[in-house]
Amino acid sequence: MTDVDVDEILRTVEDPELGTDVVSLGVVSDVTVEDDTAEVSLAHGAPHAPVVAELRSRIEGAFEEHGIDVRFSTQHDDADGVSGQPLPGVENVIAVASGKGGVGKSTVAVNLAASMSRRGARVGILDADVYGPNIPRMMNARERPAVTDDEQLVPVDRHGMSVMSMEFLTEGGGPVIWRGPMVDKVLTQLLDDVAWGDLDYLVVDLPPGTGDTQLTLLQRVPVAGAVVVTTPQAVAVDDADRGMRMFTEYDTTVLGIVENMSGFVCPDCGSEHDIFNSGGGRALAERFELPFLGSIPLTSEIRTRGDDGRPVALDDTTETSRAFHALAGAVMDNVSLVHRRTQAGE
């Protein structure tokens, strides 16, 4: 190879969002060159995020100008906080929350997880909604989990994802009437006593509101960030506002706002109807200076495929599935942004 300064090559590569070179940001943790091939180790924190592909492309381009091929590897940081592993084997915990019920939070959580898995990520989903666990039906996961020799629960495998739910730990279909200490105990078991294996992302479907489950999660696990779900309706937006303030109090990054049920397209006439008003989610994001992650339309296929246990985001054949894929890409990019800012000491 030609006599080049590897550090100088990398300093010509700017982060697409932060505008600083990747060396100064700490995104490139190690690089070695042998036989005209550079092996570059990246500490981006969010496997399979679209922004990672852009980072790799820019680095490849910089080295190609000097006749050097690039091979990438990813650094797994064991430090405390968002850069480390919040649970054994789990790189990122993403909380999906809403200020009130009925906004489609579980639907968003399931399809977010499915879309990330479809991108190639190793994904788990934890149904932490003790009072209304819907994930087992929406994932067609009804069997009870196995138990290892050391008494850890083994998540149910469904659609290539690891699934665990409060419902797996309760008997029958009666109402769950638990006070705070019991909720804390069961959620702690689901966090500490589950053999999740190696996951890039664990999506946690929280119950609506700002109760004991949310506080237990935020107090016990470093959460990479929260996705807040609302409909455009003013009442839902007001409740989402209160939910976001809870995450702020616990120094948890809000990755952005999702506006669910944002519009209904009539299958007969093709016209769009704003059944729950419009623009509320985007306005909320602007008020808090947070990313607006996208709008999810109100369609019958979301319901039918959710009821059948086949999340719509498992494919990309419809406008609805593509909306979820765009959402997942935005969430993963924002997780990476949080990591890269942490690496840079921001």
Coil, strand or helix: which one is 223?
Answer: coil
Residues 59, 19: Cα–Cα separation, whole Å: 14
Residues 236, 229: Cα–Cα separation, whole Å: 9
Residues 297, 299: Cα–Cα separation, whole Å: 6
DSSP codes joined into one string, 184-220? HHHHHHHHHSB---SEEEEEEEPPSSSSHHHHHHHHH
Torsion of CA 155, 140, 158, 196, to 10 degrees: -20
Provide the sign of the torsion angle of the four alpha carbons 15, 19, 25, 31, taken in this order.
positive
Q: Is 185 part of any known ligand binding site?
A: no
Tokens standing for residue 61:
């381009």
Q: What share of the chain is helix, strand, coil (3-state, %, to 5)?
A: 40, 25, 35
Q: Is 101 part of any known ligand binding site?
A: yes
Coil, strand or helix: which one is 277?
Answer: strand
Tokens standing for residue 258:
């999702």
Helix-helix angle 105-118:319-343, to 10 degrees: 80
Q: Is 105 part of any known ligand binding site?
A: yes
The label of the residue with tokens 């700490």 reads 26
Phi-psi region of 141 (alpha: psi -120 to 50; beta: other; left: phi over 0): beta
Tokens standing for residue 150:
């050391």
Which residues carry a binding-site annotation for ATP? Answer: 99-106
Which residues carry a binding-site annotation? Answer: 99-106
